[in-house]
Amino acid sequence: MKVLELNKTNKLTFSVDDLASILSITKESAKVSANRYVKNNYLIRLKNNLYIPLDKFNGLTETELFKIANLIQVPSYISFTTALCYYNITSQQLQGIIESAAIKRTKKITAKNIRFDFILLKKNFYNNFIFIKEFFIATPEKALADVIYLSSMDRYQCDFEAIDFKKIDKETVTKLLTNTKSKNYWNNLCKRYKI
């Protein structure tokens, strides 16, 4: 079966053009094949014109999941509790959820047992992320600032008891929140947790 050829390539995800090239078929045939492979659970459609073989998806590493999250909604970066977990700053674990900051829209996409959450931030607050290991992720302080920013507006739930504030630079978080309405929320957290 031609779909097995996709598992042999080094590509993680595929477009219709990639399928046409790898399978040596026309673009129109690749569109039909992609739909058939999705229907028969050989491929997962991550978004329009972005596919991954089911066998590859089932064996994804954390780095690959983060890379895919960045591809599903462009631009976006890994943030919130997902990033705090990545940096070992929180003991709160989100099973099967990858959270990202985005500037286009708030959106949830489920692919098999993984849910990709994209949470809208204002453009002027979409900053302080870095590129490591093939994906974009918030700095530790920015991940916390994103959590505080949305929590202060009741748009995000976080277990602040699970956060190790000793691993965070207080001044950096304070600077990130300077021009927001979240300053008071942050100041109250600092008092409560003696940061």
pLDDT in the model for residue 156: 95
Give percent of the chain with pLDDT exceeding 90.
89
Q: Which long-range contacts (CB under 8 A, 24 or more apart) does 163-169 make?
A: 163/84, 163/89, 163/90, 163/92, 163/193, 164/88, 164/89, 164/90, 164/91, 165/193, 165/195, 167/87, 167/88, 167/89, 167/140, 168/89, 168/140, 168/141, 168/144, 168/195, 169/141
CATH classification number, 4-58, choose in 3.40.1350, 1.10.10, 1.10.287, 2.60.40:
1.10.10
pLDDT one-digit tens code per residue, 79-135: 999 999 999 999 998 899 999 999 999 999 999 999 999 999 999 999 999 999 899
Residue 155 pLDDT more than 90? yes
Residue 1's pLDDT band (boundaries 50, 70, 90)?
Answer: low
pLDDT in the model for residue 6: 81
pLDDT one-digit tens code per residue, 160-172: 999 999 999 999 9
Mean confidence (pLDDT) of the chain: 94
pLDDT one-digit tens code per residue, 39-90: 999 999 999 999 999 999 999 999 999 999 999 999 999 999 999 999 999 9
0.85 exceeded by the pTM? yes
Domain boundaries, the chain: 4-58, 62-192
